[in-house]
């Protein structure tokens, strides 16, 4: 394994989730599902994994009578995601220099 | 040996998502061009009445007391409110046309017309724009007609500048151009209509054309 690459972000869906969450405030489940074009189940399992790592915050509440779930990146999650991007960046640049 | 391909793709994927989730990118250049044409037509209709208005406000400047001045003053206000109505009509036409072209493009690119990025764009455009609109109405209310045209351009430009963080980059430059034009217009108060036609007509057509050429022509309208 290469230094700096985070195993938590090996899945493309998780990369996508973090990409959306670091540049936005609370994002609704439905919006996330639309942007990433994934199924509810798939999205939910990746979000649960990120939640277990404390990389995302989950907020469940009612908007009117409908339940609404939204997510936000935690500071730790944003930091880990940025470090992962830097690692990818370095990896690509190293390859260019060779 | 590590395969570099997936990492390149990951970065592109991430960049795309960051853009799409924060910016409303379906704004159509045709919207701008349509609004520009409507504005130019409105300016043509307004021209005759506007000249009348300038002459009449000159009359008030003569500080004549009595019947004549009072007639002129009421005449200025009536004409001014007529122009406000005309401007409102132009605005409604331009905005609905613009919304239609953008709706068409949003459907093609698959981005919703009223997703969070669109709402953010609308909100950030509306705050300075509505403030400016109310401010200009207040100026009319106090019979201060001279700076209305420059003020509309400046406020509109600032509204675009504010909204540009949430949409295509060209909007930022359109906003800056409108502000500069509005400030220039303060030096030629009598030529307000000309500056209006330049700002709402010509600039919209130019930037709309540019946006259309860069993002929508020759099939680079990627979903």
B202 domain residue, yes or no = yes
Q: Which residue has the tokens 């504005």?
A: B39
Nearest Cα neighbor of B87 from B50, B46, B122 is B46
The percentage of residues in chain B with a pLDDT greater than 70, rounded to a whole number, is 83
In this complex, the residue of B8, B18, B115 whose CB is nearest that of residue A19 is: B18
- Give the pLDDT mean for B34-40: 96
Domains of chain A: 8-97 (1.10.10.10)
* Phi, psi of A67, deg, nearest 5: -70, 140
pLDDT in tens, B73-94: 666 667 777 878 888 899 999 9
Sequence-ordered list of residues with C-beta below 8 angstroms from that of B133, at least 6 positions apart, any chain? B152, B155
Sequence-ordered list of residues with C-beta below 8 angstroms from that of A50, at least 6 positions apart, any chain? A8, A14, A17, A18, A56, A77
Q: Would you call B119 an interface residue with chain A, using a CB distance cutoff of 8 Å?
A: no
| Interface list for A 37-56 with B (CB within 8 A) | none
| Interface list for A 57-86 with B (CB within 8 A) | 85
* Structural domain of B128: 29-216
Which spans in chain B are helix H?
5-22, 29-61, 67-109, 116-141, 148-163, 170-185, 192-196, 203-211
pLDDT in tens, B131-155: 999 999 999 888 888 898 899 999 9
Closest Cα in chain B to A93? B4
Chain A positions touching B20 (Cβ under 8 A) are 35
Structure tokens at B188: 């030629």
- B112 versus B128: which is more confidently predicted? B128
pLDDT score of B61: 46
* Phi, psi of B169, deg, nearest 5: -60, -30
Rounded CA separation A91/B11 (Å): 12
- Name the band, by pLDDT with cuts 50, 70 and 90, for residue A50: very high
The domain tally of chain B equals 1
């Amino acid at each position: 394994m290469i230094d700096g690459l985070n195993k938590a972000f090996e899945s493309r869906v998780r990369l996508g989730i973090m990409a959306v969450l670091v540049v936005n405030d609370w994002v609704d489940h439905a919006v996330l599902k639309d942007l990433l074009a994934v199924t509810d189940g798939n999205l939910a399992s990746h979000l649960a994994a990120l939640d277990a790592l404390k990389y995302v915050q989950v907020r469940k509440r009612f908007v009117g009578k409908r339940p609404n779930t939204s997510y936000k990146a935690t500071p730790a999650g944003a930091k880990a995601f940025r470090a992962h991007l830097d690692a990818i960046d370095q990896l690509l640049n190293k390859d260019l220099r060779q | 040996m590590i395969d570099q391909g997936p990492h390149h793709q990951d970065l592109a994927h991430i960049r795309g998502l960051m853009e799409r989730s924060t910016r409303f990118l379906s704004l159509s250049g045709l919207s701008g061009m349509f609004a520009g044409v409507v504005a130019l037509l409105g300016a043509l209709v307004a021209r005759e009445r506007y000249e009348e208005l300038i002459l009449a406000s000159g009359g008030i400047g003569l500080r004549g007391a009595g019947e004549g001045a009072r007639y002129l003053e009421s005449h200025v206000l009536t004409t001014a409110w007529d122009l406000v109505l005309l401007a409102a009509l132009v605005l409604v036409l331009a905005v609905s046309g613009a919304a239609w072209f953008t709706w068409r493009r949003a459907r093609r690119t698959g981005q919703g017309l009223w997703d969070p990025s669109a709402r953010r764009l609308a909100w950030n455009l509306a705050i300075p724009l509505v403030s400016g609109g109310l401010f200009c109405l207040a100026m009319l209310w106090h019979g201060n007609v001279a700076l209305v045209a420059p003020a509309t351009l400046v406020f509109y430009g600032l509204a675009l500048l504010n909204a540009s963080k949430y949409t295509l980059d060209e909007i930022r430059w359109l906003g800056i151009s409108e502000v500069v034009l509005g400030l220039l217009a303060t030096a030629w108060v009598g030529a307000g209509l000309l500056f209006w036609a330049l700002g709402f007509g010509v600039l919209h057509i130019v930037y709309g054309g540019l946006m259309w050429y860069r993002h929508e022509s020759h099939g680079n309208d990627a979903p």
